[in-house]
Amino acid sequence: MFEAILLTVITASTPLVIAALGELVTERAGVLNLGVEGMMIMGAVCAFAATQMTGSPYIGILAGILGGGAFSLLFGFLTLTLVANQVATGLALTILGLGLSGQLGEAFVGQPGIKLQPIVFPLLSDIPFFGRVLFRQDLTFYLSMALVIGINWFLFKSRAGLKMRAIGDNHASAHALGINVIRTRYLAVMFGGACAGLAGAQLSLVYTPQWVENMSAGRGWIALALVVFASWRPWRVLAGGYLFGAVTIGQLHAQAFGIGIPSQFLSALPYAATIVVLIIISHNRRTTLINTPASLGKPFVPDR
């Protein structure tokens, strides 16, 4: 029973973790992209369409990544090259993504999807409990874990990551030091878009292998909240994503089990839990400030 619940939690949490990790990198570079929902749904539609046309969900995954990444370029061009307001552009990107994906996906509505099958590690997958949970998952789960480790290493152990954090904290100083602010931010925005696209691909190929309009149903916004919740730390994104997923699935099981707690309360529980944790971690103002990229959301125009 516990294993079954955990497997459902993993499927529900993986897209949140992946999208939040991408946005974390974008924000660490000092760019606030509120268009996660739009990039995610674009990834979902591209992944589903490519899978239906080629019959291979792996090409679908690739299409999702490319779709999300390409869509984020629009945001990058508007906010980095044309220095448009990041908040407004991000919101516009979400609205555009939701509409455009509906248009693109119209031909694919109602088609039974092809599910991305798990990759089974021989021997390891035979370990009781852990084998089933950790070594019999689909590619997106392994990628999410690799992303946590990889991004953590990149941000805090690599030179390029240090430069990127410098840009996020003070783009004027970083520019003065000769770091190419705009180019790095473009890459960070595209990485965020690619991750959101991958998260979308997980939705339309793993979570619910089908395409319906608006199928992301607000998960992009939850991913955005997770980044703040995690105070821009990759491991905390993982913990936050799984906490949210666990409470969401747990409340459904509690209902099915017949625990007499009002379902509206249970439905609000994941959000309430997130707020409580946020209050606890924001209690220490200094650590919050240390982790927050100081240039977040501020426009940058190189003076020469």
Partner 1 sequence: MKKLIIALAASAALLGGLSTGAQAQEKKKVCFIYVGSRTDGGWTQAHDVGRQQLDKALGSKVETPFLENVPEGPDAERAIERMARSGCDLVFTTSFGFMDATVKVAQKFPNVKFEHATGFKAAPNLATYNSRFYEGRYIQGQIAAKMSKKGLAGYIASFPIPEVVMGINAFELGAKSINPDFKLKVVWANTWFDPGKEADAAKALIDQGVDILTQHTDTTAPMQVAAERGILAFGQASDMIAAGPKTQLTAIVDTWGAYYIKRAQALLDGTWKSEQIWDGLKDGILTMAPYTNMPDDVKAMAEETEAKIKSGELHPFTGPINKQDGSPWLKAGEKADDGTLLGMNFYVEGVDDKLPK
What residues make contact with partner 1 under the rule CB under 8 A? 1, 4-5, 8, 12, 102, 106, 109-112, 115, 203, 207-210, 212-215, 217-219, 248-249, 252-253, 255-258, 260, 262-264, 267
Helix pair 57-76, 86-104: axis angle to 10 deg: 140
Identity of the residue, 122 or 260, whose beta carbon is nearer to partner 1 in the bound complex:
260
Q: Are 30 and 187 in contact (CB under 8 A)?
A: no
Q: Which of 270, 211, 150, 197 is nearest to 18 (CA)?
A: 197
Q: Round to whole Å and give the CA distance between 180 and 178.
A: 6
* Closest approach of partner 1 to the CB of residue 266, in Å: 8
Identity of the residue, 115 or 298, whose beta carbon is nearer to partner 1 in the bound complex:
115
Q: Round to whole Å and give the CA distance between 73 and 225.
A: 22
* Closest approach of partner 1 to the CB of residue 212, in Å: 6
* Closest approach of partner 1 to the CB of residue 303, in Å: 43
Identity of the residue, 41 or 164, whose beta carbon is nearer to partner 1 in the bound complex:
41
Q: Are 241 and 20 in contact (CB under 8 A)?
A: yes
Identity of the residue, 174 or 247, whose beta carbon is nearer to partner 1 in the bound complex:
247
* Closest approach of partner 1 to the CB of residue 140, in Å: 14
Identity of the residue, 191 or 207, whose beta carbon is nearer to partner 1 in the bound complex:
207
Identity of the residue, 211 or 300, whose beta carbon is nearer to partner 1 in the bound complex:
211
Identity of the residue, 186 or 211, whose beta carbon is nearer to partner 1 in the bound complex:
211
Give the up-direction half-sphere exposure of residue 133: CA atoms within 13 A in the CB hemisphere: 13
User: φ and ψ at 141, to 5 degrees?
Assistant: -65, -45
Cα–chain-centroid distance for residue 151? 13
* Closest approach of partner 1 to the CB of residue 17, in Å: 14
Give the burial string for 212-226 (b: 16+ CB within 10 Å, else e). Answer: eeebbeebbbbbbbb
Residue 120 DSSP code: E
The total number of residues shown for the chain amounts to 304
Q: Which of 267, 288, 286 is nearest to 277 (CA)?
A: 288
* Closest approach of partner 1 to the CB of residue 31, in Å: 28
The tokens for 299 are: 């426009």
* Closest approach of partner 1 to the CB of residue 106, in Å: 6
Q: Round to whole Å and give the CA distance between 100 and 204.
A: 16
